[in-house]
């Protein structure tokens, strides 16, 4: 194996923070989905409603609880990927400049 294949680019702290934030927000989205489903089941059993009576409310409650956390998770993941792309480009430019100096 050559040195280039062994050498890995180190991730910046901001990139790692974005990945961790994305994972936490995805976990929060899943937690909110489960919490909303439990709330709806308890509500339906307490008041004697069925799924067909309140299906629009069920869908809107689950989506509103899930959507904001999921959206934030996707945005922070995309930000981390963008940061990684920018950092990779900077390292490529730096390596090319070093090669030109040595020649």
Mean pLDDT across the chain: 85
Residue 4 has pLDDT above 80, yes or no: no
Question: How do the domains of the chain map onto residue ranges?
Answer: 12-102
Q: What is the pLDDT of residues 9-56, one digit of tens each?
A: 778 899 999 999 999 999 999 999 999 999 999 999 999 888 888 899
Instruction: Say if residues 88 and 9 touch (Cβ distance below 8 Å).
Output: yes
């Amino acid at each position: 194996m050559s040195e280039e294949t062994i050498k890995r680019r180190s991730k910046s702290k901001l990139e790692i923070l974005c990945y961790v934030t994305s994972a936490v927000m995805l976990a929060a989205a899943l937690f909110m989905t489960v919490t909303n489903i439990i709330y709806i089941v308890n509500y339906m059993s307490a008041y004697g409603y069925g799924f067909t009576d309140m299906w629009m409310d069920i869908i809107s409650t689950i989506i509103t609880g899930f959507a904001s956390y999921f959206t934030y998770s996707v945005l922070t993941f995309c930000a981390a990927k963008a940061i990684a792309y920018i950092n990779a480009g900077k390292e490529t430019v730096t390596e090319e400049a070093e090669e030109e100096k040595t020649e």
